[in-house]
Amino acid sequence: MFNVVLSTHLLNTNPEKSDNQVYICHCEDVKVDEILKAIGDRKFISVDELKHITRLGMGPCRGKRCILRIKQLMRGYGIEVTGDATPRGPMANQINMGELHSKKVHEHIITPERKVIKANAVVAGGGIAGSSLFRYLAEAGMKPFLVNDEYGGSWRNIAAGRPAFSLPALAEIAAQNLQLFKELHAISDIDFTLIRYVNFVHDEATYKSLDASKAWSDAYMVEAKDFRKEISPEFNLHCKTYSHALITNNCWHATPGKTIDVLRKIGTQNGGTILEKAKVIDVEKTGKEYRVIVLNRQGEYVEYHTEVFINALGAKAANFAQKVGIETGLFPVKHQAFITRRMPLLGKNGAPLDMLIDRRKYRGFSAVYGQQLAETGQIIGCASPAIDPLETDKNLKTNSQDFMEIISEVFSDWIPKFSGVGLQALWSGYYVEPRYIVDPELGLFIGMRGHGFMLSQYIAKLYVDALKGKAVPDYFHHLKLSGPGLSEMAFK
């Protein structure tokens, strides 16, 4: 009876007949006069303002009753109450604090009956990192299993490597990686070609960083007036964006698919097993043993027991690390790429055009870069976002207008002939940021930041050496999750 009388009284919108001491919000004991004082001489106010000033609508019912009342009542005062309260869980459902607490119980995965296989080593992820691990584990006699589902960033990257890093340790790793590419090419044709990296200078800070890198790389600086001689006879004579360019030798190109295929063949020839089109469903660790549930391409669930499980899952790596209690802090960042139709070779002395890189922070991007493929004459290129978190976990099925506009502007500014060449394909993939994590103790080989193609083979070799108790360089230990990392910023 009380609620009915109260509602009838409040719906009388004549302010002279209203009782300002009546409670308008029962949950928080807010009276009409408190609302009027909060409003003052204003003629409109939002529900959220009233809520944060008076606590109206902050109780268990979350404003389901009082907000409708106050809107109707205030009309009699010539005051409009606008909007609605921002929704807040748990709304009217009463949830106890203790019910939300994680008990850290591993989720039990229910599958049809599954067989158990004891394995010496299991590698999850078949990109360049996982396939390199597979090779070196197999060569070490460990008969590894490689579990691969998708063809991620390693299969569709822009196919180049460089020793030009601002950190000498990374330059050393890249140089060792170059040697491994040469050895792979001697085993089977991977379209390996030595190229150069051309880093354009747009300001003094860039000049200093690039100039300093000459101390540990085979590189030389050229002035803008020599771009046609040193870079391409087709370079734009009217381009005024850059003052110099650092040209770094001993860089390379190779076809990603062929490279990964050779690594896998070496692994299988040495006793490894590839589980293609197979998904890692769950990972659990008990003591020293991992239990890895895999759904294979035949639709069967198989549980692998191993003391050596290596997470090389790229963009999905952080999710599976959490399953064994590891927080990596990694996140996937969308990067966009393109490839043109075939063109004549445009580089120095009739060679393919080298890798050209503009590192300005410009129009939402931090770098625009691309090269000409020796085997087809196509230009393949990419653009890196200036603010990685803004591109976290974005849809890979589309390319942005901003991306298409910046590649058009920058590439056409370099070489005007590009403006008339057709785009054959656009695509996207994930890089994983913000740091490399390579940690044999935790079973991690992740966060390669888009540098996997130029660094992974040698790091994988060191990883297996560390597993086997062999000596590794000090910088390898910096890559551990607990280590300081090797953070490449200047030449990302």
Chain segment 366-384, per-residue pLDDT in tens? 999 999 999 999 999 999 9
Which segments within 119-224 are labelled E, that is strand? 122-124, 145-148, 160-161, 193-201, 219-223
pLDDT category at 11 given cuts 50, 70, 90 is: very low
Side chain identity, residue 394: K
Side chain identity, residue 325: G
> pLDDT tens digits, residue range 167-188?
889 989 999 999 999 999 999 9
- Residue 435 confidence (pLDDT) above 90: yes
| CB atoms near residue 361 (< 10 Å) | 11
Q: CA dist 101 to 92, 95, 116, 192, 284, Å?
A: 20, 11, 33, 54, 21
pLDDT of the residue at 5: 39
Min mean pLDDT across 73-77, 163-167, 414-418 is at: 163-167
Cα 423 to chain centroid distance, Å, stands at 25
- What is the average pLDDT across 391-403? 91
Inter-axis angle of helices 66-75 and 2-10, to 10 degrees?
A: 30
User: Are the beta carbons of 121 and 292 closer than 8 angstroms?
Assistant: no
Bond prior to 434 in cis (omega within 30° of 0): yes
User: Model-level pTM?
Assistant: 0.84
* Host H or E run for residue 279: strand 279-286
Residue 354 to residue 314: CA distance in whole angstroms: 28
Pure H helices in 42-167: 47-54, 66-75, 97-100, 128-139
pLDDT category at 2 given cuts 50, 70, 90 is: very low
